Amino acid sequence: MHHATSGGPGRLAGNGAVVARAPAKVNVHLGVGPLRPDGFHELQTVFLAVSLFDTVTVRPAEGLSLAVRGEGSAASNGPASVPADRRNLVWQAAELLARHAGVTADAHLEVDKSIPAAAGLAGGSADAAATLVALDALWGTRATRGDLARLGAQLGSDVPFSLLGGVALGTGRGEQLSPVLARRRWDWVLGIAGEGLSTPTVYAELDALRAAGSLPDGADLVSPEPVIAALRSGPTEALAAALDNDLQAPALRLRPELRRALQAATDAGAPAALVSGSGPTVAALAADEDDADRLAAELAGTGVFRDVRAVHGPVHGARLVG
Ligand code: ATP
């Protein structure tokens, strides 16, 4: 049995439990380059971590076991899509960290999901990031943040950002990060659609649209600089004008009703709205917190979305909670 060797907030609470949480993300810019020989696309993306969190609790146990609650779990009202076995990214995170640290993968993992699954919000990546942080503390692996980021990148391209949080420019598959300092808070309303959308399906649709000549081939990416400049300190209008997502067109092809959802957001007065990542979540920019609350209430009344959440960013990445 391995115990945490250093103290810190939230470590070894009741029955030796360690709790960590990690945020959802919105891609405020997502430029998708051509397909690489390894099957991934070269990306230039600007991630913003927003205040919608999943929580992972880990406890001493023999062997690995897992319970999933909340959004996407078998017990939830919505569509059940989150596996509660070794297919879950948190299970894979535990095995990877154990191998890296040379410890036995002994823990009971509990995932409390507020981030809807397959929504373009990197919920699975958030869970993996929170698991790495929690198990590092439980097992006392003394892994550095850099170690965790490298392990995270093996689990999924968005996991390093779920660890880092804040605002960052992502290149490569999105796993190579340069932090960006944002000097102001940004308020958003997330409009959650009923059914998830598979990320590989959306990329495949983009490739098909490009191959058919319906979209430019991706050799010339739109620069992320205007979004980065606007995010730093800009007025809301500057960010509204710069928002950009290459996955929006294929997501709209696969889900034509998302057009109505985007329209509903701008009709309700959002300065701009875009599909988050591979969708189908719609991220509507708000002028400030009051505007976000007003927008959320109005969008909830349209019946276009399964759920509507007012959030803000940037927020911190995966960390232990007391
Ligand atoms: P991204 O924005 O990174 O593409 P997403 O938010 O669209 O991700 P996720 O919620 O990360 O999608 O999940 C995508 C799929 O991964 C799910 O449909 C599910 O089958 C699988 N999965 C594995 N582990 C998890 C997890 N812990 N939470 C959610 N989904 C998971």
> What is the rounded CA–CA span in Å between residue 9 and residue 162?
20
pLDDT at 275: 97
Phi, psi of 139 (to 5 degrees): -90, -10
pLDDT at 6: 42
> What is the rounded CA–CA span in Å between residue 109 and residue 297?
35
- The band of 4, judged by pLDDT with boundaries at 50, 70 and 90, is very low
Contact indicator for 317, 55 with CB cutoff of 8 Å: no
Q: Which atom of ligand 1 is nearest to the CA of 279?
A: 7
- Residue 31 is encoded by which pair of tokens? 């430029």
Contact indicator for 300, 292 with CB cutoff of 8 Å: no
Q: Is 158 in the active site?
A: yes
- The band of 9, judged by pLDDT with boundaries at 50, 70 and 90, is very low
- Mean pLDDT of the region 42-56: 97
- Mean pLDDT of the region 259-265: 96
Q: Does ligand 1 have an atom closer than 6 angstroms to the CB of 92?
A: no
Contact indicator for 43, 8 with CB cutoff of 8 Å: no
pLDDT at 246: 97
Write the residue with the smallest CA distance to atom 27 of ligand 1.
124
Q: Which atom of ligand 1 is nearest to the CA of 72?
A: 29
Name the catalytic one among 106, 112, 158, 244: 158
> What is the rounded CA–CA span in Å between residue 62 and residue 166?
35
Q: Select from 81, 91, 190 the residue to mutate for testing ligand 1; criterion: most ligand atoms less than 8 Å from CB.
A: 81
User: Could you give the C-alpha distances from 307 to 115, 190, 194, 273, in angstroms and in order?
Assistant: 11, 8, 8, 16
pLDDT at 193: 86
pLDDT at 78: 66
pLDDT at 79: 64
- Residue 229 is encoded by which pair of tokens? 């400049």
pLDDT at 1: 38
> What is the rounded CA–CA span in Å between residue 218 and residue 207?
9
Q: What's the pTM?
A: 0.94
Q: Does ligand 1 have an atom closer than 6 angstroms to the CB of 199?
A: yes
Name the catalytic one among 25, 127, 136, 207: 25
Helix (H, G, I), strand (E, B) or coil at 49: strand
Weakest-pLDDT range from 194-198, 247-251, 255-259, 260-264: 194-198
Q: Residue with structure tokens 């991630």? A: 47
pLDDT at 76: 79
pLDDT at 13: 53
pLDDT at 14: 64
Q: Select from 68, 73, 88 the residue to mutate for testing ligand 1; criterion: most ligand atoms less than 8 Å from CB.
A: 88
- Mean pLDDT of the region 4-24: 70
Residue 222 pLDDT greater than 70, yes or no: yes
Structure-model confidence comparison of residues 234 and 145, the more confident one:
145
Percent of the chain with pLDDT over 90: 85
Residue 12 pLDDT greater than 80, yes or no: no
Residue-wise pLDDT tens digits, 131-190 = 999 999 999 999 999 999 999 999 999 999 999 999 999 999 999 999 999 989 999 999
Q: Does ligand 1 have an atom closer than 6 angstroms to the CB of 122?
A: yes
Phi, psi of 63 (to 5 degrees): 75, -175
Residue 264 pLDDT greater than 80, yes or no: yes
Structure-model confidence comparison of residues 16 and 81, the more confident one:
16
Structure-model confidence comparison of residues 223 and 6, the more confident one:
223
pLDDT averaged over every residue in the chain: 93
Residue 249 pLDDT greater than 60, yes or no: yes
Q: Select from 125, 162, 246 the residue to mutate for testing ligand 1; criterion: most ligand atoms less than 8 Å from CB.
A: 125
pLDDT at 219: 87
Q: Which atom of ligand 1 is nearest to the CA of 121?
A: 6
Residue 8 pLDDT greater than 60, yes or no: no
> What is the rounded CA–CA span in Å between residue 151 and residue 145?
10
Q: Does ligand 1 have an atom closer than 6 angstroms to the CB of 127?
A: yes
